[in-house]
Amino acid sequence: MIRVFELFFKCNLKKFSALAFFTKSMAKINIYDYECPICHTKHPHWKKHEDYERYLVSYEDSHVVIYKVTIFRYKCSSCGHTHALLPESIIPYQSYSFLFILTVLSDYFMKSLTVEKICDKYEISVSTLYAWKKLFIKHKKLWLGLLKDAEMSVVDFLDYLKKYYLYQLKDFFLISGYSFMQGASHFKNAHSPPV
């Protein structure tokens, strides 16, 4: 897969729905700017291979909204591998948008609602909420390092992400080889990006 970053910080996220943001992000992407994550050819002749539909779950105007979006796959002319093109608002192998998960976790860590009410509000299971919590805490440690992690509360880190570091999701990807909040079962499918 080819991860596309640096679009979040250029947009006022409150003005866009998840679908509008996805559409705007995809319109700005030029596939020829990206190297192949497998063979590292700088500018392969990308050929559109196929596309597929997936769900994108968002929380907008106090409602859970489910969109169907089209993901395009491209074939590298050098090695023949195909890669899905994913903007940063999408977490690989998940239907929930990145901002949806941050919104849920904000409610959880701010203790503004009970676990039951959070799950009802966002139409998720308790096990999903706790899996996101566990993964978020693990990725927070990886992102910040042990010393900074100990100094920064989870609530402060959520604020930090929302205010300043949404545009640095690329840094996490470069450090780890997978996307922030991408589940552990899919790490083997994530390719380390070129440095």
Average confidence score pLDDT of the chain: 81
> Does the pLDDT of residue 16 top 80, yes or no?
no
Instruction: Find the mean pLDDT for residues 138-165.
Output: 77
> Does the pLDDT of residue 188 top 70, yes or no?
no
Instruction: Find the mean pLDDT for residues 112-138.
Output: 94
Which DSSP helix (H) or strand (E) runs through 101?
helix 98-110
Q: 119-129 burial, b if ≥16 CB within 10 A, otherwise e? A: bebbebeeeeb
